[in-house]
Amino acid sequence: MHTTADRTARISTPADRKLKITVLRGGPSAEREVSLVSGAAIAEALRRRGHDVFESDIGPDNLAALERAADVVFPALHGTFGEDGQAQRIMESRGIRFVGSGAAASAMAMDKVATKQVAVAAGIRTPAYGAVNSVAAGPRAGRREPEASRSDHGRHGGRPLPHFASPPVPVVVKPADQGSSVKTFIIRDEGGVEPAVRDVLSSFSRALVEQFIEGDELTVGILGDQALPPICIRPRQGFYDYAAKYQADDTEYVFESHPAAILRQAQEWSLLLHQRLGCRHLSRVDWICDRDGKLWMLEINTLPGFTSHSLVPKAAARVGVAFDELCERLVLMALEGD
């Protein structure tokens, strides 16, 4: 049986010429600061590999960077515009080769409700949830059945929460279409649900209210058509929020943290979800492993972070793919049309 390292070696051939690469970073989303750091790291890595790299901040009203001649565009963008299919749709319409998933897959993966529906259809567990886009005034605010996918009698999760105004706590409240744990709250008191929803809706169009699953946080990176080794994330306090992801130096990252069968299932389900959504090149799928050893899918990221704290680079390094090589491999995938 081939190992992940063996299989990823098939795309390890260095570029045989100096490439012109445009790295897009920044953008208009709430994850702008992370994107700036990711983009800078990617650009420096590609320069060290000998390529001609042009960096540009970009947004829907600033597309000048896409006019510049380039062999490949590497969008190191997170969140709105950069990760939700908008930038990808523009690049597709212009015939530009770029790293990452296409417009349709990016849009679906960014929508946590749509992703959950795909997961349930594939037999992948995901916590019960509801999505709301408004909170009416008055004491009965929002008492309606939230959107939810149909589940197989609840065996794989995905059941609708009873009512978002008084769901069984604890729950997680977060935007339905953002990453980096932006405005993500764990609510353990029923009275805290509606204020958290209002907080999310003050900045975003839709809030996700999701059953909180107690357990270990796992993440699985996808590189090409292979699942990288799962990582167990152990923040020193609280949950793996924005600060733990990008600012803390005491978060622990553990490989081989669970029985092999659980880790193997996390890899298989991550690759299955990646494929069902139509993703390409890379992604990262986040999970909770509960106390009974059951896996619950939380979300997928089609343009995961590439900072010093980021998880896909850590997992790639585990199988011998250093950061600079990882960035170049992704460029070659885009160049070759994989």
Q: Residues with Cβ < 8 Å from 60, sequence gap 6 or more?
A: 28, 81, 86
Kindly report the average pLDDT of the chain as a whole number.
85
User: Does residue 160 lie within any of the structural domains?
Assistant: yes
Residue 71 belongs to a domain: yes
- 74 and 165 co-located in one domain: no
Co-location of 32 and 95 in the same domain: yes
User: Do 43 and 83 lie in a common domain?
Assistant: yes
Is 223 in the same domain as 312?
yes
178 inside domain:
yes
The residue range of the domain holding 327 is 4-100+322-336
The CATH number of whichever domain residue 230 belongs to comes to: 3.30.470.20
Residues 219 and 312 placed together within one structural domain of the fold: yes
pLDDT band at 160 (very low <50, low <70, confident <90, very high): low
C-beta separation of 99 from 223 below 8 A:
no
- Write the pLDDT tens digit of every residue in 50-97: 999 999 999 888 899 999 999 999 999 998 899 999 999 999 999 999
Q: How confident is the model at residue 291 (pLDDT cuts 50, 70, 90)?
A: very high
CATH of the domain at 65: 3.40.50.20
Which of 211, 228, 246 corresponds to the end of one domain? 211
The total number of structural domains that make up the chain: 3
Is position 225 within any domain? Answer: yes
Q: What are the DSSP calls for 62-77, one per residue? A: B-GGGGS--SEEEE--
Same domain, 297 and 313: yes
| 291 in the same domain as 202 | no
Which residue type occupies 100? G
pLDDT digits (tens, 9 = 90+) for 163-174: 444 578 999 999
Q: Alpha carbon of 87 to those of 61, 100, 220, 248, 295: distances in Å?
A: 11, 11, 25, 30, 32
For residues 233 and 195, membership in a common domain is answered with no
Listed in sequence order, the DSSP H helices in 173-259 are 193-201, 242-246
- Asked if residue 234 and residue 205 are part of one domain, the reply reads no
> What pTM, to 2 d.p., does this model score?
0.86
**Average pLDDT, integer, range 233-262:** 75
Residues catalogued as catalytic: 31, 180, 246, 284, 286, 299, 301, 305
Question: Where does a domain end: 156, 179, 211?
Answer: 211
Strands 72-75, 171-175: pairing is unpaired
Q: Do 175 and 85 have their domain in common?
A: no
Nearest CA to 195 among 238, 160, 165, 175?
165
Of 211, 237, 259, which residue sits at a domain end? 211
Domain CATH code at residue 177: 3.30.1490
Task: Identify whether 305 is part of a domain.
Answer: yes
| Closest by Cα among 210, 231, 198 to 312 | 231
Q: In this structure, which amino acid lies at residue 263?
A: L
DSSP H stretches of helix in 60-192 = 86-93, 103-110, 112-121
Cis? peptide before 170, omega within 30° of 0: yes
335 or 237, greater pLDDT: 335
Please state, in angstroms and rounded to a whole number, the distance separating the CA atoms of residues 209 and 222.
27
Same domain, 191 and 227: no
In this structure, are 232 and 182 located in the same domain? no
Q: Residue 305: is it exposed, middle or buried by C-beta count within 10 angstroms (0-12/13-18/19+)?
A: buried
Q: How confident is the model at residue 11 (pLDDT cuts 50, 70, 90)?
A: very low
The H or E element that residue 210 is part of is strand 207-211
